[in-house]
Amino acid sequence: MNKRLPFLMLSLATVLTLALSACTPAAPTTPEIGTTEHPIKVLFVPSVDANVIVSGGEVMATALNEATGLNFEVSVPTSYAATIEEMCASPTDTMAFIPAFGYVLANDLCGVDVAFKAVRRGWGVYWTMIVVGRDSNIQSLADLNGKKWAYPDAGSTSGYLVPTVMFKDAGVTPGETLEAGGHPESVRAVYTGEADFATAFYSPYATPEGGTKWERGMDPEVPVDVNSCALNEDKSQLLCEGYRVLDARANIREEFPDVVQRVRILSLSPD
């Protein structure tokens, strides 16, 4: 047998392997997180209209981009639960703004940690408000027994979990329930008569210069005649003699400009 044959065969095999390797396309590389090809995902729970959230979120995303050089993509999943699921499905490139109970669930499910909290107009907290029709005969928590309750989402801290505890502590058992799909939708249900009362978030009103600033323990309603409440010229604000309504009622101001005249705050959650 020719002794050079094995060497030639090995040489041919090596050349063939090299040739095949040269013809095989390289495995695609994963774009670096924060690039335009792989932006950091910013999730918000659907607490109010998604278009409103995305609009405000994109302003924040632009500011973060300018500050960090990283790229961000804002989105609003279909529910509180879907927001948590998406966070846990992609933990290395996702951040989210979720309520307290959502954080507890996400932490238990996939170890999500708190990085920072929002401060809105000087307040690092917000409250649950219970709203009823302005002409309703409901005057206390006890009057809610057997009444139809509209709430935003079962995963909402201020819209569902806190009021559930409030009702239990007060010995109140609501009647029929309506999962409205968001805080504005809950308020809308009272406005339209679909529900007897609703729960949603409360943020204190903004005070005009020289006005009365809201403090804990004060009446949550604006300290002026509610009949003065109306939209400003571009419909971006609901104003009552200069006081700006910032609770969930303001989120249906364009659809129902007289929402404050028609829907009143019965109670707030305790501190």
Q: Is the pTM here over 0.85, yes or no?
A: no
Could you please report the per-residue DSSP string of 89-119? Answer: HSGGGEEEE--HHHHHHHHHHH---------
- Please report the pLDDT score of residue 238 as a whole number: 98
Count of CA atoms in the C-beta half-sphere (13 A) of 179:
8
Residue 19, pLDDT score? 41
Q: Average pLDDT across each block of 10 residues of the chain; the chain has 271 residues. List them in order.
A: 44 39 61 93 84 86 94 91 91 88 86 83 89 98 98 92 96 98 96 99 96 94 96 96 97 97 97 78
| Residue 236 buriedness (CB in 10 A; 0-12 / 13-18 / 19+) | exposed
- Give the per-residue pLDDT at 18: 38
The predicted pLDDT at position 117 comes to: 79
User: Token match 């943020």: residue?
Assistant: 203
Distance of CA 5 to the CA centre of its chain: 73
What phi, psi does 123 have (nearest 5°)? -105, 125
Question: In whole angstroms, what is the distance from residue 76 CA to residue 27 CA?
Answer: 33
Parallel/antiparallel/unpaired status of strands 177-179 and 149-151? parallel
pLDDT value for 5: 44
Q: Would you state the pLDDT for residue 227?
A: 95
CB 197 within 8 A of CB 147: yes
> What's the pLDDT score for residue 115?
84
What's the confidence (pLDDT) of residue 28? 66
